[in-house]
Amino acid sequence: MQNFPSASQQRASDDPALEQLAQFLQRHSDVLLLTGAGISTASGIPAYRDTDGVRRGNAPVQGPDFRRQEAVRRRYWARSMVGWPTLARATPNPGHLAIAQLAQRQHIGGLVTQNVDGLHQQAGSAAVTELHGSIHGVVCLDCQARHTRRLIQDQLERDNPQMLGATATPAPDGDALLEPSQLATFHLPACPRCGGTLQPDVVFFGDGVPAACAAEAESKMQAASALLVVGSSVMVYSSFRLCRMAAETGKPVAAINLGKTRADHLLAFKTEAPAQDILPALAAMLG
């Protein structure tokens, strides 16, 4: 069956910026893609920042606070119990699928993502470097055992039946906004192996990217001849450093992003268009 472009994708294909992007990929078929929350909003996952790069909503959990304060862990896990199912049900959108197609056709090189949702892998992308970890994994801080988030969700639901069916406003990365009164009777999850303290396998704000992951992303940047940022304001240093590394070595940096980025002064050009529209049109143009 032939797949015809949607109306929004057709509008994207008429944008002169599309030709500029196509020429960029034709010149740099080994380009490194750096993706952020903007590629997953069309899958129903809220972004952290607005188009000015300003963080939305409440301040996120800080890693040191999570490990030091039981009250912070209680707040995190209660909100995650309610919010994670929405993220777990999310599916790749046309932007994720187009990136996988572009890679399969050798129009792009490596892929680094700031996202923890796993949607690039679901879409068929291989060898994805997850700068900030994966929300679908959990690690024990005491015995270092690793567990699936699904297993811990089952434990949370079993131990907190009063929270089943709770509704809350979705927040980024499987979080949800709950009333403080809902935390009073909440039972924290414990490691199924040792009973220890559990943390999601993600890089919290206030924590650094693991050295091995940072080295992998840096190696991919060194191997590429250009960098394309997709759906990210690159406000956090772990992603901005890749932009700076590319620019300092004379490699062009471009972006597909709705709004401001921290790297605007480094960009050869920026296309302000929804990733889920322009990326499929780009894949179709390149064939």
| 161 shares its domain with 36 | no
85: containing domain = 55-89+137-202
- The pTM assigned to this predicted structure is 0.88
Please check whether residues 184 and 240 belong to one and the same domain. no
For the record, the structure tokens of 141 come out as: 């801080």
Same domain, 109 and 177: no
Residues annotated as catalytic (active site), given as ranges: 132
Instruction: Yes or no: say if 58 and 238 are a contact pair by the CB < 8 Å rule.
Output: no
Is the CB of residue 43 less than 8 Å from the CB of residue 119? yes
Same domain, 149 and 272: no
Which domain-ending residue is among 151, 172, 202?
202
Is residue 273 a part of any domain in this protein? yes
| 196 assigned to some structural domain | yes
Residue 166 and residue 122 in one domain: no
Mean per-residue pLDDT of the chain: 89
Q: Tens of pLDDT along 98-141?
A: 999 999 999 999 999 999 999 999 999 999 999 999 999 999 99
When pLDDT is averaged across residues 73-92 and rounded to a whole number, the result is 92
3-state secondary structure 53-97: CCECCCCCCEHHHHHHCHHHHHHHHHHHHHHHHHHHHCCCCHHHH
pLDDT at position 134 is 97
Cα separations in angstroms, 125 against 102, 109, 156, 173: 10, 11, 31, 20
Q: Tell me: do 241 and 163 sit in the same domain.
A: no
89-98, 179-188, 256-265, range with the lowest pLDDT: 179-188
Pair 227, 125 in one domain: yes
- Domain-located, residue 9: no
**pLDDT tens per residue, range 211-252:** 999 999 999 999 999 999 999 999 999 999 999 999 999 999
- C-alpha to C-alpha distance for 102 and 127, rounded to whole angstroms: 14
Q: What is the pLDDT of residue 51?
A: 61
Show the tokens assigned to 93.
């959108």
2-44 residue pLDDT tens: 343 444 444 444 568 899 999 999 999 999 999 999 999 999 9
The total number of structural domains in the chain stands at: 2
Q: Do 194 and 175 reside in the same domain of the chain?
A: yes
pLDDT for residue 174 is more than 70: no
Asked if residue 213 belongs to a known ligand binding site, the reply is no
Query: Was 243 annotated as part of a binding site?
Result: no
Backbone phi and psi for residue 141, each to the nearest 5 degrees, phi listed first: -75, -10
Tell me: pLDDT of 67 over 70.
yes
